[in-house]
């Protein structure tokens, strides 16, 4: 029986990399990376010199067998994604499930994740929330947004800079302008921005921006929430 470590990496600020995460990566036999080239920068910075292999959404099904072979040979393996917690809108679930199915241990090394950073800083109700991750891009998108508009609990969405303003405008079609929303951009980075307010004001602000860059989390309070 071997152990699969699921290791969180920084979402922008290298100082968020925990000592336990660094120690774990220095001690495992192999590191599965969402993108070996992206992770090599992080690994080199922290002087972590271990064999890596790629484990991303397009080869996850094939690579899970390779990963299980390593664990079955009693080798320890850590899984990291480009940023944040593996398995959160990133590869990880298949590997973890397979590790259990093969009788191995799974050990999380928690740390940065955009979803927890954003909800914690949003000032919107966080006792219960629904994490939607990325919404479907085409089919089902409108229906999902209508569902969110109708929801009584806080919803968290990951969105790309190319679609975030469109998302806010579509939300405005289905929600009251008084609905509370938080747009969190570039969390933990130099140009971090947390814009909290009522939907009509938020839409106006983001519609008037010239260029939209960076990584985004959008949080929508439940429809009965009043500030
Ligand atoms: N596994 C990651 C985690 O734990 O947050 C999420 C990976 S997902 C592929 C990438 C998305 O997460 C981005 O498109 C963005 O929506 C969100 N994200 C990641 N880093 C962020 C940051 N620094 N600020 C805001 N959102 C971020």
CATH level 3 topology of 3-109:
Cobalt-precorrin-4 Transmethylase; domain 1 (3.40.1010)
> Could you tell me the sign of the dihedral formed by the alpha carbons of 11, 13, 16, 18, in that order?
positive
Which of the listed residues 158, 186, 189 should we mutate to test ligand 1's pocket, taking the one with most ligand atoms within 8 A of CB? Answer: 158
H helix or E strand, kind and range, residue 197:
strand 193-198
Q: pLDDT at position 58, please?
A: 86
Instruction: Indicate the pTM of the whole model.
Output: 0.97
Evaluated on CA atoms 132, 134, 140, 145, the torsion sign reads positive
Site to substitute for ligand 1 among 9, 114, 159, most atoms within 8 A of C-beta: 114
Measured from the CB, is residue 114 less than 6 Å from ligand 1?
A: yes
Confidence at residue 77, expressed as pLDDT on a 0 to 100 scale: 98
Residue 155: strand, helix, or coil: strand
Measured between alpha carbons, how far is 33 from 223 in angstroms, rounded to an integer? Answer: 39
Domains 3-109 and 114-220 agree in fold: no
CATH architecture assignment, domain 114-220: 2-Layer Sandwich (3.30)
Class of residue 201 by CB neighbours under 10 A (exposed 0-12, middle 13-18, buried 19+): middle
Which atom of ligand 1 lies nearest, measured to the CA of 112? 4
Q: Is 16 in the pocket of ligand 1 (CB under 6 A)?
A: no
Q: What is the pLDDT of residue 76?
A: 98
At residue 89, the pLDDT reads 97
> What is the chain's pLDDT, residue by residue, as a tens digit (227 residues)?
999 999 999 999 999 999 999 999 999 999 999 999 999 999 999 999 999 999 998 888 889 999 999 999 999 999 999 999 999 999 999 999 999 999 999 999 999 999 999 999 999 999 999 999 999 999 999 999 999 999 999 999 999 999 999 999 999 999 999 999 999 999 999 999 999 999 999 999 999 999 999 999 999 999 999 99
- Domain segments of the chain as ranges: 3-109, 114-220
């Amino acid at each position: 029986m071997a152990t699969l470590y699921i290791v969180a990496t920084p979402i922008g600020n290298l100082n968020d990399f925990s000592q336990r995460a660094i120690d774990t990566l220095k001690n495992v036999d192999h590191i599965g990376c969402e993108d070996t080239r992206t992770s090599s920068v992080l690994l080199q910075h922290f002087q972590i010199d271990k064999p890596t292999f790629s484990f991303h959404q397009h080869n996850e099904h094939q690579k899970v067998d390779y990963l299980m072979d390593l664990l079955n040979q009693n080798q320890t393996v850590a899984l990291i994604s480009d940023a944040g917690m593996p398995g959160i809108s990133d590869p990880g679930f298949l590997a973890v499930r397979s590790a259990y199915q093969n009788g191995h241990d799974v050990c999380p090394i928690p740390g940065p994740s955009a979803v927890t950073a954003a909800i914690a800083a949003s000032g919107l109700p966080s006792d219960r929330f629904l994490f939607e991750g990325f919404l479907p891009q085409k089919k089902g998108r409108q229906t999902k947004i209508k569902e969110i508009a109708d929801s009584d609990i806080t919803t968290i969405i990951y969105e790309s800079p190319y679609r975030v303003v469109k998302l806010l405008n579509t939300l405005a079609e289905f929600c009251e302008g008084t609905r509370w929303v938080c747009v969190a951009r570039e969390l933990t980075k130099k140009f971090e921005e947390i814009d909290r307010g009522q939907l009509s004001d938020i839409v106006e602000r983001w519609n008037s921006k010239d260029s939209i860059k960076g990584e985004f989390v959008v949080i929508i309070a439940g429809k009965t929430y009043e500030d």
